[in-house]
A and B are shown apart, each in its own frame.
Chain A
Amino acid sequence: MVQSSDRIETLAALWAAKVAGAPLTPDDQCCLDRWLAADIRHAGAFARAQAILLRMDRLRAIGGTALRASVPEVPPTLIETEVPPDVNIPVSTAAGLESVLPSPRRFPTITRRRAILAGSTAASLALAGFFGSGLIWSGRSRRTAPVDTVERFATRRGETRQVRLADGSVVTLNTNSTVSVRFTDKVRNIHLEHGEALFDVAKNKARPFVVTASDAVIRAVGTSFTVRALPEKPVQVLVREGVVEVSHRDLRVGKIRAVADTKAVIASDASIAVRAVPRIEVERNLAWQYGQISFENVRLADAAQEFARYSDTKIAVDPAVANHTITGMFPTNDPAGFARVAATVLNLHVEVEANEVWIVR
Chain B
Amino acid sequence: MSLNAQQRTQWLANNVLPHETLIRARLARVYVADLDVNDVIQEMYARLLSSPALETIQYPRQYAIQTAKGIIIDHLRRSRVVSIVSAGSLEQLNVAVPDVSPEERLEFRDEIQDVANALAHVPETYRETLILRRVEGLSQKETAERMGVTEKMAEYYLARSIMVLSKVFGRGGKSRVRSSSGEEPEATKIDGSVER
Contact = CB atoms under 8 A, between A and B. Distances in A.
A71 B37 contact: no
Contacts of B12: 47-48, 51
Nearest to A48: B45
A102 B148 CA distance: 16
Given A45-B42, A52-B13, A107-B163, A338 B87 contact: yes
B9 interface: yes
Given A17-B162, A109-B164, A341 B87 contact: yes
B179 to A, nearest CB: 17
Interface stretch (A93-101, A149-157, A269-277): A93-101
A103 interface: no
Q: Which of A8, A13, A338 has the most CB of B within 10 A?
A: A13
A97 B152 contact: yes
Given A49-B166, A78-B121, A43 B31 contact: no
Interface string A24-66: 0000000000000000111111011111111111111111100
A107 B168 CA distance: 12
A53 B77 contact: no
Nearest to A347: B77
A344 B73 contact: yes
Contact of B39 (A18, A41, A345): A41
B34 to A, nearest CB: 8
Given A13-B166, A110-B172, A120-B35, A50 B134 contact: no
Contacts of B88: 334, 336-337, 340-341
A116 B116 CA distance: 23
A139 interface: no
A352 interface: no
A5 B36 contact: yes
Interface residues of B, number: 88
A44 B42 contact: yes
Contacts of A40: 42-43, 46-47
Contact of A9 (B17, B123, B152, B163): B163
B167 A13 contact: no
Among B17, B24, B39, B133, max chain A CB count under 10 A is at B39
Interface string B125-138: 00110111111110
Nearest to A59: B135
B89 to A, nearest CB: 8
A252 interface: no
Contacts of B127: 71
A-B pairs with lowest CB-CB distance, top 5: A44-B46, A5-B38, A112-B172, A119-B28, A328-B82
9 contacts: A4-B36, A17-B156, A20-B133, A21-B155, A43-B50, A48-B17, A56-B115, A71-B119, A117-B38
Given A49-B166, A126-B85, A345-B73, 4 more contacts: A53-B162, A58-B192, A74-B120, A120-B28
